[in-house]
Structure 1
Amino acid sequence: MTSFAAVDVITAKRDGGTLTTAQIDWVVGAYTAGEVAEEQMSALLMAILLNGMAPAEIAAWTAAMIRSGVRLDLSGVGRPTVDKHSTGGVGDKVSLALVPLVAACGAAVPQLSGRGLGHTGGTLDKMASIRGWRADLSPEALTGQLSRIGAVICAASPDLAPADRKLYALRDVTGTVESVPMISASIMSKKIAEGTASLVLDVKVGDGAFMKTRERATELARTMVELGAAHGVRTTAVLTDMSTPLGRAAGNAVEVAEALDVLAGGGPADVVELTLALASEMLALAGIDRDPARVLASGGAMDSWRAMVSAQGGDPAAPLPRPAEVEVVTAERDGTVTELAALPVGLAAWRLGAGRARKEDPVQAAAGVLCLARPGERVVRGQPVFELHTDTPERLDAARSELAGALRIDPGDAAPLRPLILDTVRG
């Protein structure tokens, strides 16, 4: 491989130039190997954030990150493979119901997930609230479970796109998380390396998402769909609203409980709507002609859930953790809820112990927020509107402060609710 001086790569991008594939291959490989200093890669990431990347650069960066590790082979699973990835939001427990539902329809879903950071919850943190459940699976165990059950939710192997793991941590502490090229390369390098044949992306838009505007979310969606196509992975992106938390629960065990409600045929209407919409897109890409609503109603998805949890050492019948402290927040006036902002709810759940500020921080399984009133609903003064769960009561004041102003209550009738699904971008 051709060698370059790191400072030359930095200045090329700083001055608005286009990096060559050779430059990208070298800098990603050298940084992963520890041959490019953290401060040099920090400077390059900031230059990319400020000046952007051409499609060819993003494709080359993604390919270099894939090559930094192994690429799983799922060709022997015996079912069509399809995965889903969310860009992160508040109360987004959809994967917990979606993975077993799509598996019950005949696909194999290799959901390699992550832990939460900041106000956005992590799927692995939620699953870890189930007694005995383990996140780490060997490649052999993963493919075997996919063949038998069709559903896996587990941690990604350290050998899968290790360049991304190192770059993600650096982006987090250098103010470069919002870079569309880096978000796209980060997500798609891991999903392509995991070996799935097709992928549905849930790109969140709004107050509780990384992408605050529809324009930025559309740019991200199109970039990732193009990356998937370039690497032979059939990809669809669905833009969904994250101005309001999804469902009524934000946290860990509380979200598992809500997902179980969906699998049992109930649950909040918005969680059910999004689960079925994403399932339909996944099944279309996988070439499976099944109605996910009928499969959900049949109980087949719940059976897949129990089999998946049991296969990973969990006890699907065990009670979920309960918090040591529960506090209720009540409405200050009569009226109709016209707004429930997602970000304050996510921050409150984080303050209560459901999330982490650093990757190494522990989380509380029982911590979280229940939103007892949602947009369009009438409330009266003194009625419970939030329920705060934590094992550490000293966290309650900070959570209460985050929620101040999150709920807007107005006299009269509510305005029409925002649509949940905003757009779909197909390859």
Structure 2
Amino acid sequence: MSEPFDAVDVIRTKRDRHHLSDAQIDWVIDAYTRGVVAEEQMSALAMAILLNGMSRGEISRWTQAMIASGERMDFSSLTRPTADKHSTGGVGDKITLPLAPLVAAFGVAVPQLSGRGLGHTGGTLDKLESIPGWRAALSNEDMLAQLDDVGAVICAAGAGLAPADKKLYALRDVTSTVEAVPLIASSIMSKKIAEGTGALVLDVKVGSGAFMKELAQARELARTMVELGTDAGVRTVALLTDMSVPLGRTAGNALEVRESVEVLDGGGPDDVVDLTVALAVEMLAAAGRPADEDDVRRALSDGRAMDVWRRMIAAQGGDPDAPLRTATHQHQVVADRDGVVTELDAYAVGVAAWRLGAGRSRKEDPVQAGAGVEIHARPGEQVAAGQPVLTLHTDTPERFERALDALDGGWSLGAVGTAVSRRPIVLDRLH
């Protein structure tokens, strides 16, 4: 079969800063998925996109072509509206765990197709797999049945959703083109739109522990994704949220599950609760079931969200009452004098948790359920000499040294009485 286009011509078009036509985009994504466009050709095109950008129309068509490479899920048979949340990833970002059951408690179905962690950001599935018996893989039929019955599901995305993205994602990783905003936005949104949700709230992280370090860069990504969702008929809102300091007091799989359960029990750290509530309010409004912030907070303290959590975990084979695994070795980082923690860098904590075994360098690596970092003192909090600031957890104590190296310079102690200003958790909202 002769091909309607030539890959070299498509590359040249973007190299020379021209617009790709709809037909060129449709062909190049399809031909790449079929193996007609070679890896080195797609690498060149990805680099041209990174350097020269794409218009809104091009990004929208590119995203649609990625969706067309695979199957689309259909939730129209459900009796309740659907809403989903996507986070661009951060350190201690366990928000999906309390958020999905909280939103479901208000009659909105939450189909949360999640991923695994890579590098210093943890993956939702890895966290939940620290619950004995819980399984990530569900068939589409099981997923629909669980959404109808329980109202929330957190599971692995099937291989059928946007297969072009899977192939292109791996290529971007090894060709230094990950940072291209059009490619990040289309990667995230092709999967979310194919997933079939009616409403989508994006949590775009900003700061040292986030993929996007600068506010302007994060705002561009958020705006691009909101436009893509809107163009595809999905009600889409984005919150820009702070990731300069880890979320909550834990980074690591079982440690974060334990903290999430505390939130569902009406407790937990203020920043985790505040962000969970802010995202829930946005999801409920976007799904056409608005609830005020006070009622959403009450659902965390009166057991409504916890009831959904227990049913959601049990529906996927997990035991919500089973003790979570703990690491066999601990090491405390203590304050050498009385003082106030003035800084705690999210990236440093994320790398330390990763080196302790909570994360992976390659996608096939195993993770330790109990590994991670526990934070006893956050910025603005006072400590006495000899008091623990952090506790490191791992099953392999030879990892402590490299984790401590990652934390070196990643936190600081000021004199007692030092005032520490904190950025608000939600920095901006785009819709």
TM-score band w.r.t. shorter chain: over 0.9
Equivalent residue pairs, number? 426
Q: How far has the Cα of 1:361 moved from its partner?
A: 1.1
Q: Give the Å deviation of 1:414.
A: 2.0
Pick one of 378, 387, 397 that aligns with 1:383.
Answer: 387
TM-score, length-scaled by structure 1: 0.98
Q: Would you say 1:415 and 2:420 are equivalent positions?
A: yes
Measure the CA separation in 2 of the matches of 1:61 and 1:138. 28
Any residues of structure 2 matched to 1:171-320 within 5 Å, and which? 171-290=172-291, 291-320=295-324
Taking the aligned partners of 2:359 and 2:43, their CA distance within structure 1 comes to: 26
Residue in 2 aligned with 1:402?
406
1:100-152 CA-partner distances (Å, limit 9, x unpaired): 00001110000000001100111011011111111111111111100111100
| Cα separation, 2, equivalents of 1:67 and 1:267 | 42
Give the whole-Å Cα distance in 1 for the aligned partners of 2:384 and 2:45.
54
Contact conserved, 1:336 with 1:409, CA < 8 A, in 2? yes
Partner SS for 2:358: coil
> Which residue in the other structure is 1:86 paired with?
87
Find the aligned partners of 1:356 and 1:40 in 2 and give their Cα distance: 29
Structure 1 residue 242, shift from structure 2 partner: 0.3
Give CA-to-partner distance per residue, 1:342-393, whole Å, 9 cap, x none. Answer: 0000000110111111111111111111111101101122211111111111
* 1:340 aligns to 2:341 (yes or no): no
Q: Is the 8 A contact 1:2 1:22 kept in 2?
A: no
Distance in 2 (CA, whole Å) between partners of 1:173 and 1:333 is 45
C-alpha contact (below 8 Å) 2:205/2:240 kept by paired residues: yes
Letter in 2 for 1:302: M
User: Structure 1: which amino acid aligns with 2:25?
Assistant: I
How far apart are the structure 1 equivalents of 2:36 and 2:356?
A: 40
Amino acid at match of 2:342: T
Tell me if the contact between 1:375 and 1:414 (Cα under 8 Å) persists in the aligned partners.
no
Segments of structure 1 that go 5 or more residues without pairing to the other structure are none
Residues 90-169 of structure 1 aligned to structure 2 (within 5 Å): 90-169=91-170
Cα RMSD, aligned residues only:
1.1
Partners of 1:309 and 1:105 lie apart in 2 by: 18
Cα shift readout 1:165-224 (whole Å, capped 9, x = no counterpart): 111111112211111111100111001001100000000001011111110111111111
SS of residue matched to 2:307: helix
Equivalences for residues 343-358 of structure 1 within 5 A: 343-358=347-362
Find the aligned partners of 1:51 and 1:252 in 2 and give their Cα distance.
Answer: 39
CA distance in 1, matches of 2:259, 2:378: 15
Sequence identity (%): 66
Q: CA deviation at 1:2?
A: 6.0
Q: What is the distance in 2 between the residues matched to 1:309 and 1:148?
A: 13
Tell whether the 8 Å contact from 2:281 to 2:290 is kept in structure 1 after alignment. no
Q: Shift of residue 289 of structure 1?
A: 3.4
What is the CA deviation profile of residues 268-297 of structure 1, one whole-angstrom value per residue up to 9, with x for unaligned ones? 000000000000000101111332112112
Normalising by structure 2, we get a TM-score of: 0.97
Contact 2:254 2:325 in 1 (8 A): yes
Deviates more, 1:408-417 or 1:292-301: 408-417
Q: Which runs of 5+ in 2 are unaligned?
A: none
SS of 1:107 mapped into structure 2: coil
| 1:423 partner SS | strand
What letter corresponds to residue 429 of structure 2 in structure 1? T
Q: Is the 8 A contact 2:30 2:65 kept in 1?
A: yes
- 1:110 is aligned with what amino acid? P
Report deviation, 1:394: 1.2
Following the alignment from structure 1 to structure 2, what is the Cα–Cα distance between the partners of residues 141 and 360? 26
Q: Deviations over 1:71-91 (max 9, x none)?
A: 001011111100000000000
- 2:425 alignment partner AA: L
Report the counterpart of residue 46 of structure 1 in structure 2: 47
Cα pair distance change 1:362/1:241, threshold 3 Å? same
Secondary structure, counterpart of 1:353 in structure 2: helix
Q: Give, in angstroms, the shift of residue 32 of structure 1.
A: 1.1
Q: Is the 8 A contact 2:235 2:286 kept in 1?
A: yes
- 2: distance between equivalents of 1:395 and 1:311? 36
Structure 2: distance between partners of 1:366 and 1:187: 29
SS at match of 1:388: strand
The separation in 2 between residues aligned to 1:105 and 1:297, in whole angstroms, is 14
Please identify, of 1-10 and 85-94, the stretch whose mean Cα deviation from structure 2 is larger.
1-10
1: CA distance, partners of 2:34 / 2:363: 21
- Pairs within 5 Å for 1:13-92: 13-92=14-93
Structure 2 residue 375 is matched with structure 1 residue 371: yes
- AA matched with 1:314: G
The match for 1:330 is 334
